[in-house]
Structures are given as C-alpha cells and as structure tokens.
Amino acid sequence: MADLPAVLAVDGGNSKTDVALVAADGSLLGTARGSGAISAEAAEVQAWLDVLATLIEQARRQAGPAGQPAGGRLAARHISACVANADLPEEVERLAAALRVRGWSETMQARNDTFAVLRAGLDGTAAPGEPHWGVGVTCGAGINCVGVHPDGRTTGYLALGGISGDWGGGEGLGRAALWWAVRAEDGRGPQTALRDAVAAHFGVPTVRDVTLGIHLGKISEEALLGLAPVLLAVAREGDMVARDVVCRLAEEICVMAVVAMRRLELTAEPTPVVLGGGLMTARDPLLLTEITERITAAAPLASVCWPSRWTSSTATARCPMTSRCTWMPGTTHRKPATSWPGAA
C-alpha cells in the first residue's frame, strides 16, 4: 500500500481534537479539528472515537486522492495519538485497544497529550539520531506535565484534578475569577475589576446572578472556562487580585516542571521546558514572564519555550512540519504581592 499516508497524527485535548494526515516525505496532506477527549471512561472514549472518525474523513477529503487510497478503511500506515485524560497505563492501553479495533492503521501508538506538547517544542533542537528530551507542560482546560530524560526515562503526575493535588488550567482560572468576584460583591474580599468583568461576560447585572445561574442549571459549569481569558485581560490592566491569580498559575506550572527536572536530575542541565495548551496559545505576557522567571531561578540553564504557531498534531507525527519556538530565557524570581487563600 505505497499510496497510504505515512501517519495519522491525533492531538486530543480536553477542549478540542486536531488530526493531521502526513505523507512519508513529511508533507501535510490534510487536517481537521473537532471537540475534545473529555474523559478516559470507556463510554466517553467510544463517543470521542466517533468524533475522531468524522475528523479523519474530513482530513482525507481535504487530502484529495492522496487521502483516499484504494483499499478502503485504512487511513494511514501508522497512528500516533496523544490524548488528554489517558493518564494511567491502563487508560492508555484502553485507548490503544479501542483505536486498534477501529482499524484505521496498520500500526499505532497511544500516549498522553503532554508528549505532543513536548515534541512540538523540540523540533529542530536535536541532532539527527539524537533523542528529543526535556519537560512539557500542558495548560489548557486542565494542567499536566511530563519529563523525558535523554536516556529515555520519563516522569509525570497523576493529573486527576484536585484529588491528585492539581490546580490550574482554564478551569482553575475560571473558578478563581468567579470566587474572587463573588467575594468582592458580597464584601468578604477585596474589590477587584473581576466583579464587573465576570457579570459582563455572562450578560447579567451581578455576580450573584452568575452563581444562581450555575446553581439552577441556567449556566453550565463548563462555561466557567470562558472566564480564563477574562481574568487574563483584567490582570493585564493591573488589577492586583487578578494578577495574583496569574502568578499562582505561573507558580503551579513552575513547580510541576522543576519537580519533574529534579526527579530526572536535570536541574543543572540545559533542559528545554515546552509550554503548550489553550492558555499558552494566548501568549499572555505576564503569565509567560512569571513562568520563565520562576523556572530559570530554580534551574538556571533551562530554556522556556512555546511554539509560535501551534501544530502539535503534526509534531505528534514527528514530521518536519512542526512549529518553531520563541525562546525566552528568564532572569529573576518574583513572588506575587499577596497570598492566595485557596479556592476551588
């Protein structure tokens, strides 16, 4: 089957899924984007695979004759799928088994989506034949991190949310924005521009209306993700409450990355740290600067980067079409001006 695309690359995040068909020479044949992989539960995996089937067909149509080889069901020789919420070995195996049953490729590999983030940021950084290694942090709807040593050892986290000690991502920022806005309105907390910004985002007069809307089912809890860019915008305008939330997120990302480096004994090495996920694509100056300063304070030789044009699905395919990075060395570590009382 010489006419089959070489790789079907799948980057399945919490909020969206990107697929790419890649030829043997690394050229991009077709792409598609759809909804994300929200759970590792068997029923949710099957529902996501139905979405993936539609995306694969879209990518094949876009590829034209190169994406529609004779022989029917096979979409590519190999599938490389990096998918959110496939955190435990048994979840990765369940995903791999489900992909094999669909019969879209001759061979396949499934991994957590943090590996796609790391690979996307490392394209062009290793000599031919040398391994790609470093730390990748995904900060989208949730937050996760993986570390890869040059000798192939890996480390990571359970990344199951609050029950595994995690905070951050769009969900964390959204809930924090609402938490602070409520307290500003009812007098339990400091005044903050989040109060008006949160109410305006949902088109209601008060933050109380937002809270009641969630409680009564008129506003979905998933809609709180939309408050993440609102909080970042308020922080950019100088609001100290919002800025401290951004600094807390930067600290969480730093802690995950630095602990991964310590486990792999990489804090004294020129370790690349790649930032990916929806929140990182916002390229928020405050957040990126705070992350960089904190990481390089703990690991002075580390370099922090984020792909300037996010194409992690093609990076998943290990093809030459991956993104370039903007490299930003940090200097000093600055703590937030006030402490965070802790709100979920």
Instruction: Identify which of 114, 157, 161, 156 has the alpha carbon closest to the alpha carbon of residue 139.
Output: 114
Query: If you average pLDDT over every residue of the chain, what do you get?
Result: 87
Give residue 317's pLDDT. Answer: 52
Q: What is the rounded average pLDDT of the residues 183-206?
A: 98
CATH level 3 topology of 7-112:
Nucleotidyltransferase; domain 5 (3.30.420)
pLDDT above 80 (res 72): no
Q: What is the rounded average pLDDT of the residues 294-315?
A: 78
Q: What is the rounded average pLDDT of the residues 74-86?
A: 93
Residue 267 tokens, joined: 């804090």
Instruction: Identify which of 115, 36, 95, 103 has the alpha carbon closest to the alpha carbon of residue 76.
Output: 103
- Which is more confidently placed, 141 or 239? 239
pLDDT above 90 (res 250): yes
- Residues 268-291 have pLDDT tens digits of 999 999 999 989 988 999 999 999
Q: CA-CA distance, 157 to 159, in Å (whole number)?
A: 5
pLDDT above 90 (res 335): no
Give residue 340's pLDDT. Answer: 37
- Helix/strand/coil for 274: strand
Same fold, 7-112 and 128-309+323-344: yes
Give residue 3's pLDDT. Answer: 75
Dihedral angle at the C-alpha atoms of 96, 98, 104, 105, nearest 10 degrees? 30
Q: Give domain limits for the chain.
A: 7-112, 128-309+323-344
Give residue 71's pLDDT. Answer: 55
Residue 157 in contact with residue 166, Cβ under 8 Å?
Answer: yes
Could you tell me where the DSSP H helices lie in the chain?
A: 42-63, 89-102, 114-122, 169-186, 194-202, 207-215, 227-236, 240-263, 278-281, 285-298, 312-316
Q: Select from 1.10.3720.10, 2.30.30.240, 3.30.420.40, 3.40.50.11740 the CATH code of 128-309+323-344.
A: 3.30.420.40
- Residues 27-60 have pLDDT tens digits of 999 999 999 887 878 788 899 999 999 999 999 9
